[in-house]
Copies of this chain bind each other. A is one copy, B any other.
């Protein structure tokens, strides 16, 4: 047998880390994994002592919120530069969300034309739309459904009222797909923002108070209760406070099927420490809060976090630099920092950061979204492979691939960087340049339900 590609290095396999290993690729798949002298191959990529890891799976990307479907081009360039070979894109596309087979087809087409990385897709349901389309979308391969209890945009990112949420959860139950929620209570947030505006308290430090823990917990609790009543899998796409993770656990104890997702920035920034310096550059929703880091890391250690994502949003920084913090766009680019920053933070919190990284940002999200051939270095899987070189590296937003060129992490020193990324056997990032072509990426269907 002869391989098209061999990648050598320190393999981070599901159950062990193996120096001096190799991955043998035939076509787009991992055909073999071995140690010792590598077999012959058309090409050899020798990573030396660097980590060879599965391509990462970002469970929450907003690639197409700003520039629309063409947004995949720059977003997936950024993804592969950050070691992410599959992103799960949110349905809140600009100008219209993914809620029909037609839009799914269009988005899959955009992936096929523009994307360098592979892309799985969330679907959604519009407020005035029947739930019949959900089965068709599931059949066509969407990985999950997404809803919001908060209106960020009336068409693209609307609030879904509770009656519709319940109806959608009931429709999702027999399909076996999770339903994710952007979990902020609209009434509390809007009233609090209005009150702060009225008092002219509009500087960045008022962002977190404007969206209090109460808003998050109320929305989370209500959604989990509806999931319990519907017998559906209710998923909270971002939790910014320890109480939220405890709440998910309590519903699990009641017999509910529910899960909790963490975003990497909640484990990195502290509003008390960083807000003055970063201002709107770290505005996300739900907000990064003060003094929550210890509790959130404890939740991670206690096994309450199902997976970790970037919640990458492709806003130009201009969108952030408004006189009032409340007018600034929420969301930050995160695809190029997710892996190196989380690796760095994990290393600061314990040994073997590479293993937790692979579990929480590759293996678990791949399983969650039913992407059977993603998230692991294992024989038969797609040859999505990332080389992570440990050692100090200063991250420069100016050098990023997302055409946004700003980041709250700008100038931070990480403990590692991505020096090569392969998507289905093809090198798409060589550590300096995106060498993959738009159109290499594919729409990945959910397989397991």
Contact = CB atoms under 8 A, between A and B. Distances in A.
Interface in A229-268: 229-230, 243, 246-247, 250-251, 253-254
A299 interface: no
A212 B33 CA distance: 51
A229 B230 CA distance: 26
A193 B97 CA distance: 29
Contact of A222 (B32, B222, B250): B222
A37 interface: yes
Interface in A315-353: none
Contacts of A226: 214, 217-218
A295 to B, nearest CB: 13
Given A14-B14, A31-B35, A214-B230, A161 B380 contact: no
A188 interface: yes
A42 interface: no
B39 A1 contact: yes
Interface in A146-171: 161-164, 166
Given A13-B378, A39-B39, A243-B254, A220 B225 contact: yes
A190 B163 contact: yes
Interface residues of A, number: 61
Contacts of A40: 1
Residue of A26, A219, A228 with most chain B CB atoms under a 10 A cut-off: A228
A198 interface: no
Given A161-B187, A217-B225, A18 B379 contact: yes
A370 interface: no
A429 to B, nearest CB: 25
A192 interface: yes
Contact of A218 (B190, B191, B222, B246): B222
Given A1-B38, A229-B212, A379 B14 contact: no
Contacts of A372: 16
Contacts of A253: 250
Interface in A9-39: 11, 13-16, 18, 21, 24, 26, 29, 31-39
A239 to B, nearest CB: 13
B33 A379 contact: yes
A419 interface: no
A335 to B, nearest CB: 26
Interface of A: 1, 11, 13-16, 18, 21, 24, 26, 29, 31-40, 161-164, 166, 185, 187-188, 190-192, 212-215, 217-226, 228-230, 243, 246-247, 250-251, 253-254, 372, 376, 378-380
5 nearest A-B residue pairs (beta carbon):
A32-B34, A163-B191, A214-B229, A221-B225, A221-B221
